[in-house]
Amino acid sequence: MAKIPRPKDFYAGLLFVGFGVLAIIIARNYPLGTAARMGPGYFPRLLGILLIVLGAALSLTALRGQGPPLPGWKWRPVSIVLLSVVAFGLVLTHAGLVLSTIGLIIVASTASREFRLRESVISGILLAALSVGVFVIGLKLQLPIWPGSG
C-alpha cells in the first residue's frame, strides 16, 4: 500500500466515520418520528450521518498534499497515568483518602523517567495530609479518611 500523505487527517477521518457508524447502529431502534415531530432517534441519526460525511471528506482530502507522520504511541505513560487514577477512584471508598492518595502518587510517579521512590513516598504523605486538610476538613467533601470509616 502506498504511503498516505497526511496520516493524521486520514486516521482522524476514519475515527469520525467510526463514531458516526457506531451512533447510527446504536440508535437504530430509537423512534425516528417526523421532521415536524422529531422522535428521540432523529437528532442522533442526523448527527451520525453528518459525522460520517465529514469524516469521509477529511480522509479523502488526506490523500493529497503533505503532512507530518503519525507520532509514536507510548503505552507506559498512557496506561500508568490513566490506570492509577481509575484505581484511585475504585479503592477510595474502601481504603480511605490517606492510603489511596499515597498509593496514587507512588504509582503515578513511575510514569516519569525520573522516578525516585523516596521522593514519591514523601510527596505522597505530604499530599495526603494536604488533601485531608483541604477537601475533608476545609471543603467538607464526603470522603472517608481511613479504611472502614466510609
Of residues 13-32, which lie at the interface with another protein (CB under 8 A)?
13, 15-16, 19, 23, 26-27, 30-31
| CB of residue 130 to another protein, shortest distance in Å | 9
- Region 80-119 residues binding another protein, contact defined as CB under 8 A: 81-86, 88-90, 92-93, 97, 101, 104-105, 108-109, 111-112, 114-116, 119
Burial of 97 (0-12, 13-18, 19+ CB in 10 A): buried
Give the 3-state secondary structure of residue 99.
helix
The answer for residues whose C-beta is within 8 angstroms of residue 26's C-beta and 6 or more apart is: none
- Region 24-83 residues binding another protein, contact defined as CB under 8 A: 26-27, 30-31, 34-40, 42-44, 47-48, 50-51, 54-55, 57-58, 61, 65, 70-71, 73-74, 77-78, 81-83
Closer CB to another protein, 123 or 147, in the complex:
123
